[in-house]
Each structure stands twice: as structure tokens, then as C-alpha cells.
Amino acid sequence: VLKAGGAYVPIDPEFPSSRIAYMLEDSEAAVLLTRRELAEEHHCHANTLFLEDAALYQGESSNLETIARPEHLAYVIYTSGSTGNPKGVMLQHRSVLNFITGMREVIDFEASQTMLSLTTISFDIFVLETILPLLGGMTVVLGDSQHQVNPQALGELITQHSIEMLQMTPSRLQMLLGHEAGSR
């Protein structure tokens, strides 16, 4: 999507259906890419592509030519909506690249490392935990909602994938360190 010059709207499937519908309508999303069971649960609009459909993975496999420009929209991330409806914040490729460049100057991302992403896709730190390490050649492991709240599951995931880097809140770190699996 990014290389092709498109923009994406990250939507957490845990959001209420009404919030998802609002975000899709407000952003004027042309296509929704999701899993079949989520579309059924949230009654999503007609222009839906399902990750399970093998036909999505057919076709040209060569590296796309980048047509995105610095001023093109990269993604729209929605605020929490604590003052009413969520607001879409539009980020250009230029802003995302500046953020990534700045973070690479202060954090040592090595291609041989594996990073764990625990942040929901709809939070801006997700870019730090995924796109940034992938651009540096790192491996990224995506945790799910169970890993966010269960220190045993989180500790096992860290061990299983030999995680060397992760970002988390101090409270989540305390939860992890306070559990046998996380203190290893």
C-alpha cells in the first residue's frame, strides 16, 4: 500500500462495531483488508478483501517501483475519541520517514535482532515496533491481546522467539518481571 502510493487506516478489530463503521466512513476507505470472521462480526462494507483468499496472493511477485512522494498521505490514525467522535490524524510519508530516521539515530537496530511488537495496530507506536525494524532487516514478532495481559504467555513468547528488543510501558514491564516466566 505504501509503496504503491496509497494510504492505510489501521483499525483494531477489538474496537466496537460502531467505532469501526465511523472510521471507515469518515476516512472514505476505498477497500477494507481483513479476516472473514471479523467482517462478519462487524458488518463491514462491500469493498472488502479477505486475507484468507488465495487469489490475493497471485500475480506479479517482483519488487514494486516506489511511486509514493514525501507529501503523499501514508496513513490516517484515529484518536481515542474521548471528547466525542475519534478524529483522523493524517501523516505524510515525509513525517513517517523523519520519525524513522530520528529513531534509528538514537536506538541501535541491528538486522540480526528480533523485536516483539505488543502495541495495537491502531496506536502510533506500532510504526516504531514494526516498520522501523523491518526497514533495518530485523525480524518482527507480533504479540496478540493474550500476550499483552498474561505474563506467562508473554514470557514464553519472548523465550520461544529469542526476542532481543521490545518496547513496553513501565506497568507492563513490572507485570512481566513480577512473574517467573518474565524474570528469566
Shared-domain flag, residues 90 and 122:
no
Position 166 scores a pLDDT of: 92
Within 8 A by CB and 6+ apart from 23, the residues are 9, 11, 15, 29, 78, 86, 88
Shared-domain flag, residues 98 and 176:
no
Shared-domain flag, residues 43 and 102:
yes
Question: If we measure between CA atoms, which residue out of 161, 178, 158 comes closest to residue 170?
Answer: 178
- Tell me the pLDDT band of 181, cut-offs 50, 70 and 90: low
Q: What is the average pLDDT across 138-161?
A: 92
User: Percent of the chain at pLDDT above 70?
Assistant: 95
pLDDT in tens, 107-129: 888 899 999 999 989 998 899 99
pLDDT at 148 over 80: yes
Listed residues 58, 86, 106: the one ending a domain: 106
Position 118 scores a pLDDT of: 92
pLDDT at 183 over 60: no
DSSP tag of 90: E
User: Percent of the chain at pLDDT above 90?
Assistant: 41
Shared-domain flag, residues 63 and 113:
no
Shared-domain flag, residues 89 and 13:
yes
Q: What is the average pLDDT across 145-151?
A: 87
Shared-domain flag, residues 28 and 117:
no
In whole angstroms, what is the distance from residue 165 CA to residue 115 CA?
Answer: 5
Distance of CA 118 to the CA centre of its chain: 9
- Mean residue pLDDT of the chain comes to 88
Listed residues 106, 136, 167: the one ending a domain: 106
In whole angstroms, what is the distance from residue 10 CA to residue 76 CA?
Answer: 7
pTM of the model: 0.82
Listed residues 66, 82, 106: the one ending a domain: 106
Q: Which CATH number belongs to the domain containing residue 15 in this structure?
A: 3.40.50.980
Domain assignment of residue 5, given as a range: 1-106
Q: What is the average pLDDT across 152-159?
A: 92
Within 8 A by CB and 6+ apart from 118, the residues are 129, 143, 147, 148, 154, 166, 167, 168, 172
Looking at residue 67, its amino acid is I
Question: If we measure between CA atoms, which residue out of 135, 100, 130 comes closest to residue 117?
Answer: 130
Shared-domain flag, residues 58 and 138:
no
pLDDT in tens, 85-102: 899 999 999 999 999 999
In whole angstroms, what is the distance from residue 132 CA to residue 93 CA?
Answer: 13
Shared-domain flag, residues 50 and 141:
no
State how many domains the chain has: 2
pLDDT in tens, 51-81: 999 888 887 788 888 888 999 999 999 988 7
Backbone CA torsion sign across 67, 27, 45, 13? positive
pLDDT at 180 over 70: no
Position 184 scores a pLDDT of: 57
Shared-domain flag, residues 5 and 87:
yes
Shared-domain flag, residues 127 and 99:
no
pLDDT at 26 over 90: yes
Shared-domain flag, residues 74 and 122:
no
Shared-domain flag, residues 9 and 88:
yes
